Structure 1
């Protein structure tokens, strides 16, 4: 058996971190036993024909039993087809999806220089006919579905103005290529199909998180399905609106065909009177998370199970509050723990001293959605005193709210409550920004499409389509449009995460969803357009610097009150089970494996648009 890898780094347009991405992956794979490492860095190797030749040669030379990795770092593109091409190719997808080679701009009307998703799918299918041990890693925008079925960050997507007709023709000529994901390819992608990926001056955020996570778990047999959660956490801690994912047989161990039956089983041990989960912190466990403890029968006692809460972190281990009546030391051989309730936490740095710092740390320790970060890494929230005033600042150093006078001893408790409430608001907004689209599988609509449009001039009532990377100003106006085909009633909710970090249900007048009406005279077609929505700058936010703002459209298959997603109070007693997992994830920051997915669960799609807003003119 030979362990082979093809690493392609297409450093096109304004990217600067691609070379480092490839270097990091080359070093990582060599350290894991890959001996046939093929690296494409130079322009001739990363142009369309060079990429195609390298992938074809890899497929030709791979042998039965080999382990194969295909890695790409660069731009990804997802271009809507012009109306004329859509009419000429009825039934084709509405977008052309492809990797962007380094000679992309050299394309002509008859020579399209984009490596199509269909081409990548076909070459990977060719590889898996030889060996099932194939892993494809894509660090680019729009990477989800590509294999079908701390400085200024750059988006790894590009607005392309090259002719695409030849690309559509080539895609149509590959109609016999498989359109569903190959079940044998492990697919690791930097973001979703409609999403974006980022790099900083050094390298891609996804590749950096992937390399660090693999190093953390180097000595532990942990499958991709577990690793991707830690990779996702690392990327989202950077405040990038990017959601990495894993597809295919992601229950396998990295670069292997082995798949452990219980991938999240963690070693449980008793030491010095303490109950510990070995390496639990690496799996994201922190104080107030919960685990299920499993104690096998040992000949003198029957097997048993119990739940326990994490009380503290000690290096990579976590300490538990022992449940009453469960086995004391020594534990039965084979005892283990399974994470069942894990929180998503916003990292906060405290740069104040004295009683205020002590009170803040005590309050943070009581919140399962916030955690103090005291290392050198950047954080999305920083509590500090600047020019004698107390403020909570974002990663760019801009205060979320207008600074206040440093509190005296008597005012400290109320000030701490206000700060922690603000941090909880910011954390909630970040969770809503990162709400993932479950994808089209099992959703009752054909060709569901959505777009956001922005008014070209205030009061003009003339709208243009919003594109990734567009910047807006306070006072601008937008609307959202959705259409598609279905025979099932659908409902729409429009949500926002404002530049203040607050969440809101924009369509608050119909919290249970706005019915999407059938289109006149067109069987099965439907459409909805929101009323125009103004972007405003809250008075309690300093009018300085660009601030992030997000718009989300959620389309579901039934009427349900989603106002808690926008910040309204939850009424758990009357809350339908169909919503529990969704509301827990956004409102409480909880991933709870005890919640079963039922046939009655809400089926939904999420579309999101992220921008930055310029402050109003003084």
Structure 2
């Protein structure tokens, strides 16, 4: 059995980190026993070069081999022009493709983009030989914005090359299976309409993947666990990018083995402390809960007991030991794990101790081990005590730093309360769309921006568009179905506060028959103004997010906008959603998803410029 890898790196347009990405993957795979490493980069990743390399890889692969196909570069998702769609009925609505080195040399008769259909066909040729195939794509498929052009690069590119030949090629491939091969593990930098970034000369996704594989070098965990660590790395950069793992992601890396309980943690009693080995690598920290599973006696079910994580020591989680001895062969399973917002404290003296003590009391915040891991920073400047984002822009105007300890304690309390607000806003911004399971598949949502104030003309908001304080937008949703559906409009403002925009109807607005909905049902909001709060400095652009939730029943989602939760009367169907956003908790003990609210999430993210002086 040979471990083979094809590493493709197309450094086109303004990318700078492709060479570093390929070098990282070459080193990482070499350390994991890959002996047949093929590299197409530095001008060698042309369209024909990539296609030929994929063909040669399939020719040389043998049954039982482990194969990796990796790509770093630009990705594109382009709408097919209407005139081509009219002349080619049954053709694709979009061209989705990887961008080779010679993409810019495309002509009307020679399109130089590696289509998604061509990549799918190449992977199918490999899985006919061996089922152990992993495809890693560090690129994105839609355009967007770059927060800091000095350090950020987006891995998607708008195309002005002729696409006629590409559409024709896609039509000719239409008879091939379009669904992904079920044997291929697919590791992608973002979702289909999402964004992927490189930062400081390296792809965020590739850097996160390398770190996750390094962290778990001695611990066998599947891709489904590793991808959560990759997401944590990407989140720490504040990029709105969500990596994902598709296909048989329950496999161990570069293997066909599938562990039954991937989060099973070995228990060790050392010096009077009960340790869950490697628990910190799975995200466990103080105040999280685990279930201890003891060896079964005969046919009886294995006895269990829950306990709490009291501290972290290196990679291990230290547990509150249960009464009595822990039998040999016992293990722990995480059951209630918090998502923690990492904070860097750049403060000295008594105030630093007060801040750390307050931080330790929150299960939703943690002190970052390194400044680069932080999503927020607390510092003292000439202006006073500031809480800033990763770019150094303060969330609020600075507070004066008092000399008296009692007043410093109040400042520390206010700073941590602000961090809780920021963390909550980030969790809502990152709320994942669960997909159309149980809901109409034709749900369509759009956000529009007013062209001129009170001009009654609107333009469609597109990913990457910026806004200015005072602009107005509206959101609409429609479907051809007539099943009962409810909508909620939620905002994460540039202050990072969350708000339920439709707070006058917190239990949802029912979609009704509308003429503009094409005979189906729909709802459209009134104009919503982008507001710049007085307590936010006007020293730079700030991110703002608009989220539309559409669900299968009317339930009070007021807590998403900051209103108090009433757990005693809270419907079970809402528990998982509100726990995730409000408390930052993933709880495996909650009822099955079939009992929960079925919902879709449509999100629009933008940068808002401050008001004109």
Q: Report the TM-score, using the length of structure 1 for normalisation.
A: 0.93
- What is residue 456 of structure 2 aligned with on the other side? 461
* Aligned residues of 1:121 and 1:177 also touching (Cα < 8 A): no
Paired residues for 1:167-566 under 5 Å: 167-297=166-296, 303-323=302-322, 325=323, 327-328=324-325, 331-387=326-382, 389-407=384-402, 408-440=404-436, 442-520=437-515, 525-566=520-561
- Cα deviation per residue 1:32-76 (whole Å; 9 max; x = unaligned)? 111111111032x32222222222222232221111101111111
* Aligned residues of 2:92 and 2:167 also touching (Cα < 8 A): no
* Aligned residues of 1:444 and 1:486 also touching (Cα < 8 A): no
Shift of 1:563: 1.9
Is the counterpart of residue 14 in structure 1 residue 10 in structure 2? no
Runs of 4+ in 1 over 6 A off after TM superposition: 521-524
Distance (Å, rounded) in 1 between the aligned partners of 2:105 and 2:476: 35
Distance (Å, rounded) in 2 between the aligned partners of 1:521 and 1:475: 27
- Cα deviation per residue 1:348-381 (whole Å; 9 max; x = unaligned)? 1122233322221111111000001242425221
* Aligned residues of 2:344 and 2:371 also touching (Cα < 8 A): no
Distance (Å, rounded) in 2 between the aligned partners of 1:5 and 1:178: 24
Distance (Å, rounded) in 1 between the aligned partners of 2:92 and 2:554: 29
Local SS of the residue matching 1:552: strand
Distance (Å, rounded) in 2 between the aligned partners of 1:454 and 1:432: 22
Is the counterpart of residue 111 in structure 1 residue 110 in structure 2? yes
Distance (Å, rounded) in 1 between the aligned partners of 2:53 and 2:589: 46
Distance (Å, rounded) in 2 between the aligned partners of 1:263 and 1:163: 47
Shift of 1:172: 2.3
- What is residue 41 of structure 1 aligned with on the other side? 41
Shift of 1:297: 4.3
My pick for the range that moved more, 102-111 or 396-405, is 102-111
* Aligned residues of 1:124 and 1:185 also touching (Cα < 8 A): yes
- What is residue 97 of structure 2 aligned with on the other side? 98
* Aligned residues of 2:480 and 2:517 also touching (Cα < 8 A): no
Shift in CA distance, 490/302, structure 1 to aligned 2, threshold 3 Å:
closer
User: Runs of 5+ in structure 1 lacking a partner?
Assistant: 144-149
Shift in CA distance, 302/123, structure 1 to aligned 2, threshold 3 Å:
closer
Q: Report the TM-score, using the length of structure 2 for normalisation.
A: 0.94
Distance (Å, rounded) in 2 between the aligned partners of 1:338 and 1:6: 37
Local SS of the residue matching 2:162: coil
* Aligned residues of 2:109 and 2:165 also touching (Cα < 8 A): yes
Distance (Å, rounded) in 1 between the aligned partners of 2:176 and 2:345: 55
Shift of 1:182: 1.6
Shift of 1:91: 5.9
Shift of 1:521: 9.8
- What is residue 139 of structure 2 aligned with on the other side? 140
Shift of 1:302: 9.4
Distance (Å, rounded) in 2 between the aligned partners of 1:58 and 1:565: 50
* Aligned residues of 1:388 and 1:406 also touching (Cα < 8 A): no
My pick for the range that moved more, 23-32 or 477-486, is 477-486
* Aligned residues of 2:293 and 2:331 also touching (Cα < 8 A): yes
- Cα deviation per residue 1:417-471 (whole Å; 9 max; x = unaligned)? 221111000001111111111233x243233333322233344333222232222
Shift of 1:87: 4.6
* Aligned residues of 1:298 and 1:332 also touching (Cα < 8 A): no
Distance (Å, rounded) in 2 between the aligned partners of 1:584 and 1:88: 50
Shift of 1:142: 3.2
- What is residue 145 of structure 2 aligned with on the other side? none
Local SS of the residue matching 1:361: helix
Shift in CA distance, 368/353, structure 1 to aligned 2, threshold 3 Å:
same
Shift of 1:512: 2.1
Question: For the aligned residues, what is the CA RMSD?
Answer: 2.2
- What is residue 611 of structure 1 aligned with on the other side? 606
Paired residues for 1:121-136 under 5 Å: 121-136=120-135
Local SS of the residue matching 2:343: strand
Give the length in aligned residue pairs: 605
* Aligned residues of 2:393 and 2:539 also touching (Cα < 8 A): yes
* Aligned residues of 1:351 and 1:382 also touching (Cα < 8 A): yes
Shift in CA distance, 464/486, structure 1 to aligned 2, threshold 3 Å:
same
* Aligned residues of 1:378 and 1:395 also touching (Cα < 8 A): no
